[in-house]
Amino acid sequence: MSAKVVVVGSLNMDLVARAQRLPRAGETLPGESFSTVPGGKGANQAVAAARLGGSVAMIGNVGDDAYGQQLRQGLDAEGIDCQGVNTCLGVSSGVALITVDAASQNCIVIIPGGNGLLTPQAVQRFDALLQGAEVIICQLEVPTDTVAWTLARGRELGKQVILNPAPATGPLPADWFAHIDYLTPNESEAEALTGVAVTDQSSARLAGERLLQLGAGKVIITLGAQGALLVTAQGHQHFPVPVVQPLDTTAAGDTFIGGFAAGLVRGLEEGEAIAFGQRAAALSVTRAGAQPSIPYLAELTP
């Protein structure tokens, strides 16, 4: 059976240190705990979509190291089709160095490793996966030419194309927008893409409308505890998020994307799929780690 959600993106091993606060430049702080946790925005979104009811395939790269073996094994254990996960010889797997403070805020340094070697040709080798998909998801932790090729191919195939523009450091190439059905930035990413400082629903609406003007099909701006705002040519709709006590916000956005995609392929209406992703993300922030925090469908079923 073809995978209904295909994720083209990154696989990282997250090296997570917890401390009371984030260090300042040049400062050394005592930490409280350390763990290694499978992550990477691509892999996180694939795991979320799989746990939340989607049939999923992953296209990406790992290195020929112990982390690479663990990352592949983790996806296999979730029932994710890993035929498109390639091992790059002589290269490390992607690594994310994450520090989390007592308020559950984090700072992250990413070493691309094998993710940086994911070429358009590497993705094209698994075009059959793209052809069989209903939803194709991309992020920005692999080379931009690979993202560009995948977005264009998704549009050519008539699939629903989701771009999670993370991490965004500036505007997207102008020719990308016409290939995107759903553009899903958070507040800081929306500001990087538009120059609009996003702090609330009103500023999020303005940023979303600018992204529509650039050619995006629809825009979903995630606002953390303020929920999410869907902006379309027909108007906008706010989706509140359940109130929870956060422990760790790592992978909350990825959980939302995966949950939203899983909802779409399970036949939920657009608004229902957004609300479903919001519920999954809210539950994820009450738990530590990236993939370990992502909930399963049964946990969200009344």
CA of 154: how far to CAs of 179, 203, 209, 210, in Å? 7, 30, 23, 23
Among the listed residues 14, 65, 248, 254, the single catalytic one is 254
CB 12 within 8 A of CB 96: yes
Q: Which helix (H) or strand (E) holds 111?
A: strand 106-111
Could you tell me if residue 59 is left (phi over 0), alpha (psi between -120 and 50 degrees) or otherwise beta? beta
| Rg from Cα positions in the chain | 18
User: Looking at this protein, which amino acid is placed at residue 146?
Assistant: T
Active site annotation includes 175: no
Asked whether the CA dihedral 27, 28, 33, 35 is positive or negative, the reply is positive
Backbone angles phi, psi at 298, to 5 degrees: -60, -25
Query: Is the peptide bond prior to 295 cis by the omega test (within 30 degrees of 0)?
Result: no
Alpha-carbon distance of 183 to 270, in angstroms, equals 14
User: Looking at this protein, which amino acid is placed at residue 53?
Assistant: G
Alpha-carbon distance of 121 to 133, in angstroms, equals 19
Please enumerate in sequence order all residues whose Cβ is within 8 A of that of 235, keeping only pairs 6 or more positions apart, or say none. Answer: none
Alpha-carbon distance of 36 to 13, in angstroms, equals 7
Which residues are identified as catalytic? 254
